[in-house]
Structure formats: C-alpha cells, structure tokens
Amino acid sequence: MMTKLREIRLQVVTFLSRFEAYLVPAGKLILAMVVFCTINAKFGYMTKIAKFPLALILGLFCSFMPLNMIVVIGALLTLLHAYAISIEFAATLAVVYVIMFLLFFRFSPKDTMAVILTPLCFVFHIPYVVPMSFGLVGSFSSSVSVACGTVVFYVLKYMVSASKVFAESGEDDTIARLKALLEGLIKNKEMLICAAAFALVVMVVYVIRRLSINYAWTIAMIMGALIGILTILVGDIMYKTDISIPGLIIGTVIACVVVKIIQFLVFDVDYSRTEKVQFEDDDYYYYVKAVPKISGGNVKDNRDVSEKKKKKKEAKEKNPAREESVKSRVSEQSSEEDAQENVQSVRRSAQRPSTASRRSTSDADSEFSREKAVYEARQAEVARRREAARRREERLRNEQIEENDSRSDDIVQEEDNDLGLSRRMAYQRRKLEERISRDSK
C-alpha cells in the first residue's frame, strides 16, 4: 500500500514539475477567488464590489502577481466593506492593518500563505491545522504571520457583531463608537489566547523538527498538539473565554492527520537506514548524519509467479484420484508451464536485480555517499587552503612592491643629491680656473 502511494506521489511530483508554468498561476487564481468570495460572503456590506465578476477579474490579476498581492487586495476589500458600515470601522481596521503589515513585512514577508490560510481555516473551522503545518514546513518567523492572520480573523468577526449591536442601539456618536470598538478589540481575550497559542505552537514545532534526532517530525507534531491544547486550556481557565473544548480536541486531531499527510509528501525518510559518518582533516573533525529518503521508484514483485504456483498446488490437492492418463497430461502441461515460468523468471531476473543485488547496490550507494562526503569535505578544505595561500602570496607581493617602490624613491633621491654635488663641484672648479687665468695675465 505504501509503495503504491509513493509511486502515485512520484507521478504527481513529475506532473507538477512538468506543468509548473501553468499550474502555479492556476493555483493563485483559485486561492484568490476563494479569499475574495469568502470576504464578500462573510463581510460583504458594500454590494457594489461584492460581485463575482469583480472577484474573478481581481483573481486573474493576482494569478500573475506575487502572493503578497492577494493579501493587499483582500485588505483593501475589507476596508471598503468596513467603510460601508461606518468610517469608524474603516479607521479601526486600517490601524490594525498598518500594525500587521509592519510586523509581517519586517519579520516574515515570505510567509504570505500563513496570513492567507489562517483566516480561511478559521472560517472552515479547522484553524489548528495552520500553526502545526507552518511549524513543519515554515520557519521560526512564521509565528508572526500566523498570529497576524489570527488577529485579522477575530477583528473582522468582532466588527460584524459590533455593527449589529450599533445598528440595534442606534448609537451615532463617532467618538463613542470608536472608543467602543477599540475597547472591544483590546479586551478580546479569545483573540489574544489563540494568537499567542498559535505562535507558540509554530515555534515549538519548528525547534523540535530541526533537531538531529530520529522521528523528529513526529515528535514535533505530538508536542505541538499538546502545547496548543494546554495553552488554550490555561488561557480559557484564566480569562473564562468561550472556547469550545470538544472543538479544540477534534480540531487538533484533524490537524495531526493533515500534518501527517504533509510529512508523507515532504519528509518521507527511512530512519532504519540512518548512517553516521565521522572523519577528520588537519583542522577539523566532521560528524555527518545521513537519513535516506524513500522514493516511489518502479517497485515490483513476483506476485504473478507466486499466484500461479499457488493455484497449481491447490488444483493438485483437490484432485488426487484422477486417472493415470489425465495425470500424465496434467504433468506434461505442468512441466510445460514450469518450463515457461522458469524461462520467464530467468528473463525477469536478467531484467531486474534480485533482492541481494539490490541490497548490495544500496550498500554500495551508502559507501559511495560516505566516500563522496569525505571527498567533498577534503576538496573544500583544499580549496580553503589554496585560497588562503593565494591571499598570503598576494599580500607578500603587495608588500614587496611597496618596499621596492620606497627603495627606488630613496635611490632616486640619492642620485639627485649626487648630481647636485657634482654640478656644484664642476662650477667651483670652473670659477677657480677662471681666477687662475686672470691672475696669470
């Protein structure tokens, strides 16, 4: 069963890599359409923009743009819907978005999917999938993105309920409504508990799955589930929120199932064949742990041959009292079938390596990988030493050039001094000869 699933996974990966240029824009289009249609359905107070053709046009635009554009356009749509309620709602939501964008673009600008998927998973009642998933496939800073997505969902949810309350009460004072909105957001304990719990789950799962231990991803998954449940339970007891405990447990179980599927798709390894390599050179000791991946490949077995032999054996056991002629014919047919099966098995064995050969091949591959690691480490050390030697030679050459330049300057100065002295002596000698010639006259 697992072999078949791995073969299907390999085929899917091959298909995705082959048609990536078409599938990536299509995926962006579908995601943008889901986001915009969900915003219009749950928060569609401005009826002029809550239409499917406009969502389709925006989705087509986002399909050829970076993923961050979906976040920006989704924020603009929610601001327009909030402005349709009142300007106080739009101003409050704009402040929340400014703070969120400052945190998001500063710490985790590449985790756009976390910001997009967190509110969507809240809408579809599976929010606990997001922190565990991004703890495994994301980074440490993904906690900021998950927390921002959580805050956005609860802010929009609170505004929907607040708009109904204000409409029923007939409150028209702008300052009073703005103050009530800000107080309601600040005192929303459920939002703070979920944002803190999700950020903590992302960090714990990421730290554990990065450890160099066997079954690190499974351990990270279990610890993340326990940390999430414990944190939310403690927050619920302290602040007396209305978080559903059965929903928390069921959602965590669903998250574990989804994360296990993600692990099979992304990190499918065989810990039973873990290898540890240790070697050294003149400057360093190296400790390498290699865990082989499990790929689908073209895995086949001898199922057809075994089934034929089993059927033959059952037929012989069921009919022991046949006549000699029938037995002889059956024996002749069986001998012919055996001969054909032997020929087929020989051909298959010639085409496909046996288990022992596969095992020897895997041993040879592991030995080759170890030797390759040693060779690459030594080549890197040789390259490092050559670079250091080259820099040292270049530095010595530059020092020698500077020394030669200074020496040549001294020589030129000495030559200039000698030339000046010889000129003065020649001038004095000429003056002396002129004086002697005048005296003689």
List, for residues 299-332, the tens digit of each pLDDT value.
Answer: 443 344 345 455 555 555 545 444 455 445 545 5
Task: Check residue 32 and give its pLDDT.
Answer: 92
Rounded-to-integer distance, Cα 142 and Cα 131, Å: 8
**Closest listed residue to residue 239, CA positions, set 251, 248, 231:** 231
Task: Check residue 352 and give its pLDDT.
Answer: 45
Torsion over CA: 41, 43, 45, 49 (sign): negative
Three-class SS state of 279:
strand
* C-beta atoms surrounding 127 within 10 Å: 24
Q: pTM for the complete prediction?
A: 0.64
- Determine the straight-line distance between the first and last CA of the chain, rounded to whole angstroms: 132
Residue 386, Cβ density class (10 Å: 0-12 exposed, 13-18 middle, ≥19 buried): exposed
Residues in contact with 40: Cβ distance below 8 Å, sequence separation at least 6, in sequence order = 49, 50, 51, 55, 77
Contact 243, 193 (CB under 8 A): yes
Contact 108, 114 (CB under 8 A): yes
- Residue 286 phi, psi dihedral angles, 5° rounding: -115, 130
107: its two tokens = 């710490």
Residues of the chain below pLDDT 70: 169-173, 296-368, 405-420, 441
79-99 burial, b at 16+ Cβ within 10 Å, e below that, comes to bbbbbbbbebbbbbbeebbee
The single-letter code of the amino acid at 294 is I
Q: Write out the DSSP string of 236-273.
A: HHHH-----HHHHHHHHHHHHHHHHHHHHHH--B-GGG
Residue 74, Cβ density class (10 Å: 0-12 exposed, 13-18 middle, ≥19 buried): buried
Residues in contact with 7: Cβ distance below 8 Å, sequence separation at least 6, in sequence order = 296, 297, 298, 299
Beta bridge partners of residue 49, listed in sequence order: none
144: its two tokens = 């900021």
Residues in contact with 308: Cβ distance below 8 Å, sequence separation at least 6, in sequence order = 337, 341
Task: Check residue 220 and give its pLDDT.
Answer: 92
Angle 195-197-203 from CA coordinates, rounded to 5°: 105
Contact 142, 203 (CB under 8 A): no
Rounded-to-integer distance, Cα 328 and Cα 336, Å: 12
Over its C-alpha atoms, the chain yields an Rg (Å, rounded) of 40
Residues in contact with 368: Cβ distance below 8 Å, sequence separation at least 6, in sequence order = none
**Closest listed residue to residue 239, CA positions, set 273, 196, 201:** 196
Contact 203, 136 (CB under 8 A): no
Beta bridge partners of residue 269, listed in sequence order: 293
Task: Check residue 76 and give its pLDDT.
Answer: 92
Contact 55, 80 (CB under 8 A): no
Rounded-to-integer distance, Cα 115 and Cα 100, Å: 10
List, for residues 398-409, the tens digit of each pLDDT value.
Answer: 887 877 766 666
